[in-house]
Structure 1
Amino acid sequence: MTVEFSGTMWRKSSRSGGGGNANCVEVAVAGSAVGVRDSKSPGAGVLAFPAARWASFVRCLGS
C-alpha cells in the first residue's frame, strides 16, 4: 500500500506516557489508511495499514 502521509496530523500514542519511556509510536490517518511511525525517528519510515484492518486490531487490544 502506497499512501502519502506528508501534511497529516500525527499524534502520539496515549500509552507512550512521559517520564523517559523510550517506546513511543505516533499514528496518523490519511484517507482510508492509518500510518504508524516511531516518534523518535519520524523520518525512518511509516507502516501503513488499511483503516478497517487497523480498527480491527485496536478492537482486539481492548478485548
Structure 2
Amino acid sequence: MHGPVAVPTLMLSGSESTPEIRQATDAAHAALPEATVRVLDGHAHIAHRTHPELVAAIVREFVSG
C-alpha cells in the first residue's frame, strides 16, 4: 500500500451524470479523501465538451490556489 497522494487533486462531477459515473467519483473520492470534488450543476459527464470554458475556469481557479 502506498501513502496518501501528496499533490492537490481535483475531481469534477456532473449533477446530471449517470449513477454509475457518480458512484465512480464517490469511490475515487473515498480513496483520495483529501481531493476536492466540484459538482457541476446541470451538467453531465461531458461538461468538458459541452462547456469547456466553465471547466477551464474551474481548473484555473483550482491550480491558482
TM range (shorter): 0.3 to 0.5
> What TM-score, normalized to structure 1?
0.34
* More helix as a share of residues: 2
> What TM-score, normalized to structure 2?
0.33
Between 1 and 2, higher relative CO (CA 8 Å, sep ≥ 6) is seen in: 2
* More strand as a share of residues: 1
